[in-house]
Amino acid sequence: MSSKILIIGAGGQLGQCLKTVAQRRDITEIVFPAEADANILNQAGLESLLQQEKPAFVINCAAYTAVDKAEDEADLAKAVNETGAANLALACASNQATLIHISTDFVFEGNAVKLLTEDDDAHPINVYGQTKLDGEKAVTALLKEHFIIRTSWLYSEYANNFVKTMLKLGAERDELNIIADQVGTPTYAIDLANAVFDIIASDSKAFGLYHYSNEGVTSWFDFARAVFDISETQVKVNPIPGSAYPTKAVRPAFSVMDKNKIKSTFNLIIPYWRDSLVACIDKIKSLTV
């Protein structure tokens, strides 16, 4: 039987983290096709790619993630996040591959201060969240052999993300205003990549929906403060309410996910968010020396 892994969206943040972790773990039966060869809007192309590579697992990191732009580009967000997910699920079904599909905490309304479980009702409050939820539903309807992993506040040494933006702004400015009334959990994409490979290595058939983020809870304000504290960046950070910085898309106020299901099913030990932030900033520093 094949043990090959195929990465869709290989050039994005999580795709690059999967590549880094695969090298660290000496995972060699893994393919990172170019975007042109793995376009999730091209059903025939996906079928051809899977027939050629014959993967046991397909990891879908491809997504439309521009949360505010999605409000104006709803059709494009829907095409990528829902139709694209459906196309990939169909290709996996016809090629006997298991799909690991990455989703988001933004499927939740976020108006209740409680740990969100996989059984809680999802009520998205923006276009991005709705298209990601619709993508989850498409995968669930079309393919039994799937793992859907919702994650949150993803960052790493790769691509554009909150941590790298804060480091850049902190170097340029003396003072920053950061939203303090949106609460969630940052997730180091390297940790998520490790969890994905742990799920594959487990050879488990416990298909379904799972939540994964780092451990702990924080606000964007405290997250920014931690970035500057760890990186020894001197900048004044002011906490502001979300209402003082209106965005086109409404964000969940509280989207802390319960990880007990994924931890108990796959025997995972999940790092605390600040410990992982230290590791990431150390890596960013080493890359810029």
| CA 235, 241, 245, 250 torsion-angle sign | positive
Helix (H) or strand (E) holding 205: none
The token pair at 179 is: 């939203």
- Catalytic option among 128, 158, 210, 212: 128
| CA 229, 230, 234, 238 torsion-angle sign | negative
Pairing of strands 218-219, 183-184: antiparallel
Q: Give the C-alpha separation, 244 to 242, whole Å.
A: 5
Range list of β-strands (E), 69-193: 98-104, 146-151, 154-155, 175-179, 183-184, 187-188
Nearest to 6 by CA among 200, 203, 213, 198: 200
Q: Give the C-alpha separation, 284 to 157, whole Å.
A: 5
- Which burial class, exposed, middle or buried, applies to 74 when counting CB atoms under 10 A from its CB (0-12, 13-18, 19+)? middle
Whether 155 sits among the annotated catalytic residues: the reply is no
Nearest to 228 by CA among 184, 175, 183: 175
Residue type, 220: W
Instruction: For residue 87, give every residue at least 6 positions away whose Cβ sits within 8 Å of its Cβ, in sequence order, or none.
Output: 40, 41, 42, 43, 46
Report residue 177: phi and psi, to 5°: -105, 125
Residues belonging to the active site = 128
